[in-house]
Structure 1
Amino acid sequence: MSRSGGLEYPAGRHHSRFSEEQLSPRTYYLFGQHKMSMPRRTHSNIARYVIMKNMPDSFEMELTNDERKLLIQGLLQWGGPAYGFDSLAHLMGFESHYDLVYVDGRRIADAIEADEPMAADDWYRALTATEIVFSSYALGAASDWEIVTGFKDARSLELLRAVQHKVSKLPKPQALLDARLEARMQIARRRK
């Protein structure tokens, strides 16, 4: 993290990570006494790139009982009908499929059930695991979802949208931001 003017910036989240073509004069914002440049398309998402000094380590989430059950099932089904492998688990933020099913996935499910605050990373991992296991026929439990969870598809989608809305208010995990930026940079390199 680098510091400037009372703000902390995640490593690599300042203008040096972006090419000159991605920056324009309109992309400069004043934070206290510090001027910071951001890519053109992030004007409305600027807060996602800047982490305030006293950002909490864990976040409480006001979820209904059904929303909690949905996330818990979304994590637990990776040990059931969902077909998981290490590279997919890694994309969701877990170390391995074993970690998703037996270690961090179980810990996150237990924390959700106990209504405990969790790190933003954990909320995003629970959401991503649920999104994939609910919707993917090839990798998830899509065809078996209603049978193994007791949630009808329409109700699951309604709950999933509600949870997505709530989780989207949390700061995005640094690994997710780095992956998005790297993907955009690869696309930009291919276009040249």
Structure 2
Amino acid sequence: MDHSPDDLMDIPLSPAERRLLRGGIGGWGGPARCTEEMAVALGFRTERDLLDEGHRLIEALDAAAPMTRLDWTRLLLATEVCFASNVVGSGLDWRSTVGLTDEESILLLRAVQRRISGQVATIGTRPPHGR
């Protein structure tokens, strides 16, 4: 069954999981160092779009509002890169900017990944394998 990137999904999250995702998307406004190419790789049109959409996604997280499959995908991917990468993301500064240890963060990230698994939208400029 094909799912549209515009399908709304309501994914219940704990306060700590929301904090993780808020830090992951919010980090792109600093200390993460975004480029146009990275923003596009994360599923946004431009770096400016990532920052603008990031504010909207944080508001949706705080309101526990349903988001589209594409929103959840971009939110998760932006968090994964922001948390792990010290080249473009928060990396070693993650704990001081988000307030979660690496150990806490990876456990929370894995919980969110499991919850969203199979629900994410395809992003990128190339068609998925097998199509």
TM-score (norm 1): 0.63
Please identify which structure carries the higher strand content. Answer: 1
Q: What secondary structure is seen at the aligned counterpart in 2 of 1:143?
A: helix
Q: Deviations over 1:29-63 (max 9, x none)?
A: xxxxxxxxxxxxxxxxxxxxx3279x982010011
Instruction: State the shift of 1:177 in Å.
Output: 9.4
Q: Which amino acid aligns with 2:90?
A: A
Q: Distance in 1 between matches of 2:125 and 2:36?
A: 21
1:91 maps to 2:41 = yes
Q: Which amino acid aligns with 1:144?
A: D
CA pair 69-179 structure 1, distance change in 2 beyond 3 A:
farther
Give the percent of matched residue pairs that are identical in Structure 1 and Structure 2: 34
Which runs of no fewer than 5 residues in structure 1 stay unpaired? 1-49, 186-192
- Could you tell me which residue of structure 2 aligns to residue 61 of structure 1? 11
Largest Rg, 1 or 2: 1
Greater RCO, CA 8 A, separation 6+ = 2
Q: Distance in 2 between matches of 1:177 and 1:154?
A: 34
Q: 1:125 aligns with which of 54, 71, 74?
A: 74
Show structure 1 runs of 4+ deviating over 3 A.
174-180
Q: Deviations over 1:132-177 (max 9, x none)?
A: 000001111111000011101100000000001111141x324359
- Could you tell me which residue of structure 2 aligns to residue 137 of structure 1? 86
Q: 1:106 aligns with which of 45, 52, 55?
A: 55
CA pair 153-52 structure 1, distance change in 2 beyond 3 A:
closer
CA pair 168-77 structure 1, distance change in 2 beyond 3 A:
same
1:175 maps to 2:123 = yes
Q: What secondary structure is seen at the aligned counterpart in 1 of 2:77?
A: helix
Q: Which amino acid aligns with 1:66?
A: A
Q: Distance in 1 between matches of 2:14 and 2:117?
A: 16
CA pair 148-92 structure 1, distance change in 2 beyond 3 A:
same
Which runs of no fewer than 5 residues in structure 2 stay unpaired? none
CA pair 97-67 structure 1, distance change in 2 beyond 3 A:
same
1:79 maps to 2:29 = yes
Give aligned pairs, total: 131
CA pair 78-169 structure 1, distance change in 2 beyond 3 A:
same
Higher deviation after alignment, 156-165 or 172-181:
172-181
